[in-house]
Structures are given as C-alpha cells and as structure tokens.
C-alpha cells in the first residue's frame, strides 16, 4: 500500500556549492539542471535535496524539483551530511526475487523489511537493496518503487527497472487495473463475504495512524473486498482484494467493521481470546498486472510465510 513519504529536519551540511544555471537550460526543470551540473549524484537524490530545502535559487529556498528555470540563475546547494544520505546508499541485502526481466522486478518481501527509507529507518530498506541489486536504478525516482507494503506485511511487490515502466505501472495503479490479493487473519467470526467502501485519511488526532475519514475532511476513496476462507472460534481466515492502495488500507478497513487483523498493535485491541502473534497477520499473496512492454497480462503468486502457516495450524488444532 503506497503513500508518499515526507522528510524534514535540520541538517549539518558541508560547504554549500555555488552554481550558475547555463543559459541553454531555459525552460528546463530544476532537478534536470542539477543532475547535469552534479553528475556524481543521482537525480532521485537531488530531488530529495530540493524537497528538503537544501537548494536556493537566486537567494530563495526552492522546494519544488519541477520548477522551470530561465537560465542564468544562481544556485546554492547545501549537501546533507546526516542520516538522510544513507537512504541513497546501496546495501547488499538479500532479496527473494520471484521474477525479473529488463523491465520489471517482482519481490517476495519478508515481514520486517521497510520498503522506503524514512524517519528511524534510513538504511537497511528495500530501496537500499534495490540500489545494490539493479545497477542504474538510482536514476529512477524512488529506485523504481511504485507501491509499498507495510514493514510487517509480507508478500509480493513490483519494482520498475526503467522510467517508462514506472510511468506505465503508476498509470495502471491509478486506473485500478493492478490486481492485488492478500491473505489475512481477522479478529471475530465473519460469516459472509463483503466489502468496505470508506475513504481513508490521516487520523485527526493520532497523526501516525490512518483512519476512515470523510472526503470533505481529507479522506481519499478506498475500496477493499474480502472473502471468508475459514472460520475459527474467535477469528477468521480471509482473502482481501484491493481496488485502491491507501496507506494501511486493509488494516484500517477491517478495524472499521470491528474485525481488526490478529497481531495488529496499531489498529487492534488487546483480546485475550485471540492467539498471540508478533505482527499483523497479513500477506500479499497474488499480484497481477499488464506487462509494460509485452502488454500481456501477467500474474505471480507466493505461498503464505511460515509464521502465518503456523498460526493457522494452531487455530485449526484449537
């Protein structure tokens, strides 16, 4: 489930770089010009510096990488030297690669792996692993990542290896033609299939959480469908499919109908009748899309990880 990451904070910096925009750069974007003037840094990294208020244009801080330049502007670039710079470092982190060609990379992400760097997780992420695994992917925004899974959610995630593929996948996500199916174990006994069509936005009080929020208060459309697979005494094994990809969508939607996921410490409640589990019981098991080059419909499926299989075995023995 994907959502933009915002970075902010004060940095200790090296001596600022003073640059002049070439006259021939009339009409070009700030990030494009910076990439030409500072070829030792990736465009993705330079975009981050702009957004983090590290770049001045003619003496004024500019935070929009897409700003068009006229030529002749004086740039002041203060290179960050704190933990933010770790976000762009390649790391030799093993990846469970399900599929790879010249265009796409499909990963079976383990629970515990953060997808994109952010506060408290500036290294050891999937993005760091991709920068090591795919030479040149630093030239693509977010190292080709087009959607996310929560840190403690396991399963399938697709990465674009070219800018054209990334653009195509983003359009497919927007058109709701990417098919994502999840296996989950929810609290309570659910007797029939159904769905939740409720907008999701930032929680009005607890800002680190998401919540069902009316659209006139910032909520964005979100639709989750669920199918009952197996019932137990105090919980239900379900399969969910997404029409949209909001942050924490399945977790928020299931909690909103009083069936939070087992093990979810953020949206669930302590219930002594439920089995103990170290993470939210959620796994992205199946992913389908149209290949950006061949235009063929492709699909991948991975089995439930061992920890969730053991949980189901415990419930069945219960």
Q: How confident is the model at residue 82 (pLDDT cuts 50, 70, 90)?
A: low
Q: Which residue has the tokens 């003037």?
A: 37
Of residues 25 and 83, the one with the higher pLDDT is 25
Contact (CB, 8 A) for 229 and 238: yes
Distance CA 172, CA 75 (A): 37
Give the mean model confidence (pLDDT) for residues 29-41: 89
The domain covering 17-81 belongs, at the CATH homologous superfamily level, to RNA-binding S4 domain (3.10.290.10)
Distance CA 252, CA 26 (A): 47
The answer to whether 17-81 and 89-317 have equal CATH topology is no
Indicate if the pLDDT at residue 221 is higher than 90: yes
Residue 150 annotated as catalytic: yes
**Average pLDDT value for the chain:** 90
Of residues 13 and 25, the one with the higher pLDDT is 25
Indicate if the pLDDT at residue 8 is higher than 50: no
Distance CA 105, CA 18 (A): 39
- Domain-wise residue ranges, the chain: 17-81, 89-317
Longest dimension (CA), the chain: 74
pTM here?
0.75
Per-residue model confidence as pLDDT tens digits over 123-171: 899 999 999 999 899 889 889 999 999 999 999 999 999 999 999 999 9
Active-site hit among 3, 52, 82, 150: 150
The DSSP bridge partners found for residue 179 are 288
Give the mean model confidence (pLDDT) for residues 280-297: 98
Indicate if the pLDDT at residue 11 is higher than 70: no
Give me the pLDDT at residue 294, please.
96
Per-residue model confidence as pLDDT tens digits over 226-244: 999 999 999 999 999 999 9
Q: What is the CATH number of domain 89-317?
A: 3.30.2350.10
Give the mean model confidence (pLDDT) for residues 283-287: 98
């Amino acid at each position: 489930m994907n959502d933009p990451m915002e970075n902010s904070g004060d940095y200790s910096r090296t001596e600022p770089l003073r640059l002049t925009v070439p006259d021939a750069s009339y009409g070009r974007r700030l990030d494009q010009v910076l990439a030409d003037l500072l070829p030792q840094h990736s465009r993705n990294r330079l975009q981050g510096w702009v957004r983090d208020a590290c770049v001045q244009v003619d003496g004024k801080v500019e935070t929009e990488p897409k700003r068009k330049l006229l030529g002749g502007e004086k740039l002041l670039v203060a290179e960050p030297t704190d933990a933010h710079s770790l976000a762009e470092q390649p790391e030799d982190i093993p990846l469970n690669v399900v599929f790879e060609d010249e265009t796409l990379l499909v990963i079976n992400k383990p629970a515990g792996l953060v997808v994109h760097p952010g506060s408290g997780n500036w290294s050891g992420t999937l993005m760091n692993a991709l920068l090591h695994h795919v030479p040149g992917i630093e030239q693509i925004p977010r190292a080709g990542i087009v959607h996310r899974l929560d840190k403690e959610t396991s399963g399938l995630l697709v990465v674009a290896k070219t800018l054209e593929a990334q653009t195509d996948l983003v359009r497919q996500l927007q058109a709701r033609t990417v098919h994502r199916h999840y296996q989950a174990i929810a609290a309570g006994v659910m007797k029939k299939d159904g769905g939740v069509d409720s907008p999701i936005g930032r929680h009005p009080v607890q800002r680190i959480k998401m919540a069902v929020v009316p659209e006139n208060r910032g909520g964005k459309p979100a639709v989750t469908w669920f199918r009952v697979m197996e019932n137990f005494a105090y919980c239900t094994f379900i399969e969910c499919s997404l029409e949209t990809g909001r942050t924490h969508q399945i977790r928020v939607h299931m909690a909103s109908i009083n069936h939070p996921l087992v093990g979810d410490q953020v949206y669930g409640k302590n219930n002594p009748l439920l089995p103990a589990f170290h993470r939210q019981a959620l796994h992205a098991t199946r992913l389908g899309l149209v290949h950006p080059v061949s235009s063929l419909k492709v699909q991948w499926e991975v089995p439930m990880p061992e920890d969730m299989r053991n949980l189901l075995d415990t419930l069945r023995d219960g």
